[in-house]
Chains A and B, each alone.
Chain A
Amino acid sequence: MKLSGIFGDMGTKISMFGYFLRRLLIAIPTLFVIITLAFFMMRAAPGSPFDIERPMPPKIKERIEAAYHLDRPIYVQYGYYLKDLARGDLGPSMKYKDKSVADLIREGLPISATIGGSAMLLSLVLGGFLGSFAAIRQNTGADYAVMGFSTTGISIPPFVTGPVLALVFGVYLHWLPTGGLDRGHMTFTHLLLPVVTLALPQIAIISRLTRASMIEVLRSNFIRTAHAKGLSERTVLFRHAMRAAVLPLVSYAGPATAALLTGTLVVEQIFALPGIGRQFVIGALQRDYTVVMGVVILYAALIIMFNLLADLVYGFLDPKVRYQ
């Protein structure tokens, strides 16, 4: 019995590891396709990083373009890019003359990660709580209030919520700063509004998902059984219902990560935060090819990774899932 238990466990682990490995292997061609598409789309956009208002002498322009291989056919440029990438070199920024893409990502990533991570956590905790609360109090005033809030949260985009929150809490009430960091340092007060702005739509979506799934679970037979066994309401809710109700949330974690990552592009711009989202927007406008590529690769890798993690966690939570 004990032995089979161990083998069973190991079997699960092996199949899980195999699954993980397979997914990682699939991620490589996926990333490759993304890199290729992003590379050619970026180059297809009109203009170049060296289009400035005052024209340069042709020889100087030639020299600069040669330094970045921009004088070569696009497929050769692509080859150079892949070669550098294979060595882990994201290249120099084409606009920030004194910085490399890695420098820029190193500076911006901690800020974006903190905002994104905090927003994710806030969405899960608050969305989960509100959703469960609404499910338990189904069709009451509280339920309608939560769902009303949720619909509003989904309908109003961050580029509206952000400036309104900044105006109310920053300009009128003077409670919180309206943007930027505290001389380069992330403080609670400086990040609160950006995190809330970024999290609001996710809180709304997660609370709706949780509510729907919780209502379904609460009506299921195993909950009825738990009640029949005389378990307390709290135990039924937290030990049995919650575990099952949380499953749709886990499968939503992948899309949520994507939404938060793209959300940082907007939120960092509104709150003047020096994260990589802002880098990306500025890079795209300035045709800073290497910076845009660097951020695209990072974002793509993160989204692939979080989707994979979500699938693995799903398996942990739901014994019915098998990694094949």
Chain B
Amino acid sequence: MLLKNIKSLTITAVSILALAACSGPDAPDNPDAKILHRGNSAEPLTLDPHLASGTWENNIIGDMFIGLFTENAAGEPIPGMAKSWTTSEDGLTWEFELIDTIWSDGVPVTAHDFVFALRRLLSPDTQSQYAALVYPIKNAALVHNEEATPDALGVTALGPKTLRIDLEYPAPYFPGLLTHYTTFPVPAHVVKEFGARWIQPENIQVNGPYKLVQWRTNDFVQVERNPGFYDNENVCLDEIYYYAIADANTAERQVREGRLDVNNDFPGRKMEFLHKELPGYVRVHPFLGTTYFSFNTNVKPFDDRRVREALSMALDRDHITQNVIKSGYISAYSLVPPGIGNYPQGAIVHWAKLSFEERRARAKELLMEAGFGPDNPLQFEYTHRSTGDNPVAAPGVQSDWNAIAPWVNVTIAQIETQILYANLRAGDFSIGDGGWIADYNDASNFLYLMETRAGPQNYANYSNPVYDQLMDAVNREMDMVERADMMKRAEQMMLDDMPIIPMWYLVNKALVNPKVTGWVDNIVHTHRSRYLCFAE
């Protein structure tokens, strides 16, 4: 009897599980629909342009919303909602004429949506973590810190289709900044009606090429074509699935299986293997990112420039990038990565051309000049992030430093990435690894990190009044050639002081099925789905 019961129970359970497991998709897809499956690194924490902070969120948000400017296939700023614009002579006032277009529910997109959006972004109630990016807009910082009312913000609707933005200082990179999701308009009528839930699939309205259909946490986000999009006739793909696959190895397997058409990363150390296994898939391109170590210049002995320079010289970046990390990174001898906008490069550490043996010998001399030697050994801790290639590189860094002289003794400590950044900001470190990826394509976005006013983001606590004055002038300079020269001088001055150790320039990596067309490798690693298609 009992056995019978167990047997029947088992059969029932198996049937239920089998049924549950075998439930197929609800409705068959339109067989003609062009669907792209994109691996998108991580789960979006939000799809609200005002709350987002990750590049993986940008990939989806930028497919749904279009700002005054947007990106072309090569990631360069092109007009989006802006039809035309004028700039005042002093560069402080920008007046935009908007194109005639609608939200996906048919309501026209107006200048008021922009005013509403920027005020919402800067309202402390919105709790945006990224709003400081629009501080170049007049009174933005004051409004954000509740020292001015929202109507003091320098954003005005002069008519339904005319928008004026006043700036604190001329920002020649402003069109690039306007491609950032924090500056996107949101449908005021929808946000007012649904509040925080306006972004849910059942409520959301968009002005971009795709509209949200479903969002399954840690699985995928699905969007479909928005027929009301102003350039819909040039959009090829009907649906996009963005998969939150954080593990680059898992994503790589899915690309090899053909389940993903595109993944915006791959494990760097597998580059050679992937070139062989997946010919035509591997994409590597310089990126707007630099990995650099910061000295805590507040503590001894890192307040001594000679010690900082010695430790920077003694690192064999070529060996670490090419033989240890093997991800295609480029040895860095400056903070600002090559290829960045509005900057011809040129600033470089003065010893970059020396051979590594010469540098190591010079490093030893410098440390001895600073008072270190067998009787006064140099001991310190190097802390590094637990993610990415940093744990792989750390032993190489340690061994390079220990090889300067027997009396140099370095310990390494791996710290969870977000904790390490908190320590860097709090000044709780000796030498710490960190990195920066630009928010927009302009060199000033790197150089401001070393300004005194960058506060906790200036991990090294570097403070040089001349540098600060120069960077302040950069923000006000209208002549782009002169501005670039000023930035170069500022960067050189900072590199000579060596508060940081530039280690390597990042590259962006992607696996793209060769049948996907329209993918243009670019320095901002932004690839809007509206430009992608499948080869016939």
- Which residue in chain A gives the minimum CB-CB distance to B135? A57
Which of A51, A63, A110 is B418 in contact with, Cβ under 8 Å?
Answer: A51
- CB of B295, distance to nearest CB on chain A (Å): 19
Which of A99, A117, A174 is B257 in contact with, Cβ under 8 Å?
Answer: A174
How far, in whole Å, are A53 and B130 apart by their CA atoms in the complex? Answer: 11
Contacting residues, chain B, for A222 (C-beta < 8 A): none
How far, in whole Å, are A286 and B456 apart by their CA atoms in the complex? Answer: 21
Are B253's CB and A125's CB within 8 A? no
Q: Which 6 A-B pairs have the closest CB atoms?
A: A274-B219, A274-B218, A97-B46, A178-B253, A51-B422, A47-B419
Are B419's CB and A184's CB within 8 A? no
- CB of A275, distance to nearest CB on chain B (Å): 8
A177 at the interface (CB under 8 A from B): yes
Which of B17, B200, B259 is A114 in contact with, Cβ under 8 Å?
Answer: B17
Number of contacting residues on B, CB 8 A?
65
Which of B14, B17, B25, B125 is A182 in contact with, Cβ under 8 Å?
Answer: B25
Which of B2, B23, B455, B457 is A186 in contact with, Cβ under 8 Å?
Answer: B23
Are A269's CB and B18's CB within 8 A? no
A270-289 interface with B by 8 A CB criterion: 270-272, 274, 278-279, 282, 285-287
- Which residue in chain A gives the minimum CB-CB distance to B222? A183
- Which residue in chain B gives the minimum CB-CB distance to A246? B6
Which has the most chain B C-beta neighbours within 10 Å: A55, A103, A185? A55
Contacting residues, chain B, for A191 (C-beta < 8 A): 21
A64 at the interface (CB under 8 A from B): yes
Are B21's CB and A188's CB within 8 A? yes
Are B418's CB and A52's CB within 8 A? yes
Which of A53, A103, A108, A183 is B220 in contact with, Cβ under 8 Å?
Answer: A183
- CB of B500, distance to nearest CB on chain A (Å): 16
A171 at the interface (CB under 8 A from B): yes
Q: A54-B457, A96-B45, A98-B199 are in contact. Are A107 and B216 (CB under 8 A)?
A: yes
Digitize A104-134: 1 where CB-to-B-CB distance is under 8 Å, 0 elsewhere: 1001101000100110010001000000000
A189-224 interface with B by 8 A CB criterion: 191
Contacting residues, chain A, for B217 (C-beta < 8 A): 96, 99, 103-104, 107-108, 274, 279
Number of contacting residues on A, CB 8 A?
66
Digitize A283-324: 1 where CB-to-B-CB distance is under 8 Å, 0 elsewhere: 001110000000000000000000000000000110000000
- Which residue in chain A gives the minimum CB-CB distance to B215? A98
Are A64's CB and B245's CB within 8 A? no
- Which residue in chain B gives the minimum CB-CB distance to A93? B45
Give the interface of B toward A (CB within 8 A).
2-3, 10, 13-14, 17-18, 20-25, 43, 45-48, 51, 53, 124-125, 127-132, 141, 144-146, 196-197, 199-200, 214, 216-220, 222, 241, 243-247, 249-250, 253-254, 256-257, 259, 416, 418-419, 421-422, 425, 455-457
Tally the A-B contacts, defined by beta carbons under 8 Å.
168
A75 at the interface (CB under 8 A from B): no
Are A184's CB and B220's CB within 8 A? yes
Contacting residues, chain B, for A97 (C-beta < 8 A): 45-46, 48, 51, 196
Are A60's CB and B129's CB within 8 A? yes
21 contacts between A and B (CB under 8 A): A46-B416, A47-B418, A52-B53, A54-B53, A54-B457, A57-B144, A57-B145, A60-B127, A60-B129, A98-B196, A114-B20, A163-B249, A170-B257, A178-B257, A179-B254, A180-B254, A187-B24, A188-B18, A238-B3, A271-B250, A274-B219
Contacting residues, chain A, for B256 (C-beta < 8 A): 171
- CB of B519, distance to nearest CB on chain A (Å): 22
Contacting residues, chain A, for B144 (C-beta < 8 A): 57, 59-60
